[in-house]
Amino acid sequence: MSIRLYSTLSRRLEELPEPPGPIRMYVCGSTVYQRIHVGNSRPFVLAMWLRRWLRTRGYDVTLVHNITDVDDKVYEEAAKLGKGSRELAEEATRWFLQDTDDLGLGRPDVEPRASETIPEIHAFIRALIDDGLAYESQGDVYFRVARYPDYGQLSGAQPDDMVAQEPNPLKEDPRDFALWKSQKPHEDAAWDSPWGPGRPGWHIECSAMAEKHLGPEFEIHGGGLDLRFPHHENELAQSRSRGYPFARVWLHNGMLELGDEKMSKSLGNVITLRNVLDTWGREVLLLYHLSGHWRKPVDFTDAALESARTQLAGFRETLVMPAQTVGDWNALEEALADDFNTPAVLALLHAWAAGGARDELARGLDLFGIGTTFDVPAELEQLRARREEARSVKDWASADAARAEIEAAGWAVTDHPGGTAIWPRP
């Protein structure tokens, strides 16, 4: 069964090589200066899911998910808070790791930080200058967009879009973008470089981190749709202008939307991942993400989360019942092989739950990190056994009393021909 993913670069479904070959993935992570919003969780979750599934298919997968801890936004937020920029970046990195840990999907294989990649960034920039692809201007270094004729092929950006990025009179061409930025008076931290103290531009950070950990050619590059231009367009130009193939398949996930706007810190319409995890729980959030196709925008509403919670409750009830049928696992594989179609998978999970295909339901939920077993506290197990025994002798009053105590503890009760089962309400 071939695996096909829609690539932004080619505008078509690209087939991945057959296993057991390697699949190297680079996914752009968050810029760490505040607690990340729930929209930032989407590329992380999708990348972890894709890695999990590809490994079940026999691929040797390496997932690199970077942390951008050097950026204009870090300096600006630190100044507002009266903190050092490096102190804030370290604190926000800890928040990022804690919040994404609590999604329960594990960690990427490599999580490089821009601040730890400065030597590689210097080497990359020097190579671009030596090849005439970049130039220094009063302590800054810029990429010559004119030297890369294919600029714009990834995003379809028009000339006016290109001129709009980073206006600066130090440029030879308004379309050129910064590889190295000289230290500004308000910036409290800088790194030495051949061009003077400063720090890297955003785009060169990812090209350098990807090359360091995956080499000059790899299979998949992912990230939010909002990164397609200018960030990913500039990454592609930097790397391919040096003759490197860079990423073959580009995956840009749709954004989470509040009303008609994408969720964005710059727009001020954010709901933090921490808040959602604390309010709804990780499994409700994962089911919510499962409901939307990765390429499309998804509305983020309380109603959508409530629907996910109801679905989770139904799945949990099926999991504690005896299996009645066998589901078609191959149908799930086919859905994922066809552009990682998670809404089709979710429909299958519901069909399996309705038909009592408990074992396939458990296997499917487990693939996406959604729990399928529950630790029953000893006191609740005693209540379950008491209800089961009371029902067997038709002592309905005692059975109802045990049910009431179980439900008061936040658990649900399901009776079936073989006895009584209990499960935690989400």
The region of weakest confidence among 67-76, 152-161, 172-181 is: 152-161
Predicted confidence (pLDDT) at residue 161 exceeds the cutoff of 80:
no
**Phi and psi angles of residue 218, each rounded to the nearest 5 degrees, phi first:** -150, 170
Instruction: State the angle between helix axes of 273-280 and 302-319 in degrees (0 to 180), rounded to the nearest 10.
Output: 50
Predicted confidence (pLDDT) at residue 162 exceeds the cutoff of 80:
no
Q: Which of 62, 65, 66 is nearest to 24 (CA)?
A: 62
Q: How confident is the model at residue 418 (pLDDT cuts 50, 70, 90)?
A: confident
Cut 0.85: pTM above it: yes
Predicted confidence (pLDDT) at residue 13 exceeds the cutoff of 60:
yes
Mean pLDDT along residues 408-414? 96
Mean pLDDT along residues 330-355? 98
Strands 60-65 and 298-299: unpaired
What superfamily does domain 4-262 belong to in CATH?
Answer: HUPs (3.40.50.620)
* Amino acid sitting at position 15: E
pLDDT, mean over the chain: 94
Q: Where along the chain do the CATH 3.40.50.620 domains lie?
A: 4-262
* Amino acid sitting at position 48: M
Predicted confidence (pLDDT) at residue 12 exceeds the cutoff of 60:
yes
Predicted confidence (pLDDT) at residue 296 exceeds the cutoff of 90:
yes
Query: CA 6, CA 341: separation in Å to the nearest integer?
Result: 11
Q: Which of 370, 217, 285 is nearest to 362 (CA)?
A: 370
Which is more confident, 179 or 158?
179
Predicted confidence (pLDDT) at residue 44 exceeds the cutoff of 60:
yes
Q: What is the pLDDT of residue 159?
A: 64
Q: List, for residues 217-275, the tens digit of each pLDDT value.
A: 999 999 999 999 999 999 999 999 999 999 999 999 999 998 766 656 555 668 999 99
List, as own/partner pairs, every contact residues 286-289 make where C-beta atoms lie below 8 angstroms and the sequence separation is at least 24, other chains included. 286/45, 286/103, 286/104, 286/105, 286/368, 286/369, 286/370, 287/311, 287/312, 287/346, 287/370, 289/41, 289/42, 289/45, 289/46, 289/342
Q: What is the pLDDT of residue 1?
A: 83
Mean pLDDT along residues 164-176? 82
Number of DSSP helices (H) and strands (E) in the chain, helices first: 15, 15
Instruction: State the angle between helix axes of 396-408 and 378-392 in degrees (0 to 180), rounded to the nearest 10.
Output: 160
Mean pLDDT along residues 107-134? 98
Which is more confident, 259 or 291?
291
Query: CA 328, CA 350: separation in Å to the nearest integer?
Result: 13
Q: Where along the chain do the CATH 1.20.120 domains lie?
A: 281-367
Q: List, for residues 53-102, the tens digit of each pLDDT value.
A: 999 999 999 999 999 999 999 999 999 999 999 999 999 999 999 999 99
Distance of CA 125 to the CA centre of its chain: 29
Q: What is the pLDDT of residue 165?
A: 64
Q: What is the pLDDT of residue 267?
A: 58
Q: What is the pLDDT of residue 258?
A: 85
Cα distances (Å, whole numbers) of residue 381 to 49, 120, 139, 403, 417: 34, 57, 69, 12, 18
Query: CA 9, CA 21: separation in Å to the nearest integer?
Result: 22
Q: What is the pLDDT of residue 264?
A: 63
pLDDT over 90 for what percent of the chain?
91
Predicted confidence (pLDDT) at residue 181 exceeds the cutoff of 80:
yes
Beta sheet of 22-27, edge-to-edge order: 60-65, 22-27, 217-224, 246-253
Residue with tokens 């840009």: 252
Helix intervals (H) in 133-272? 159-164, 202-214, 233-240
At the topology level, CATH places domain 281-367 in Four Helix Bundle (Hemerythrin (Met), subunit A) (1.20.120)
Mean pLDDT along residues 310-314? 97
Q: How confident is the model at residue 312 (pLDDT cuts 50, 70, 90)?
A: very high
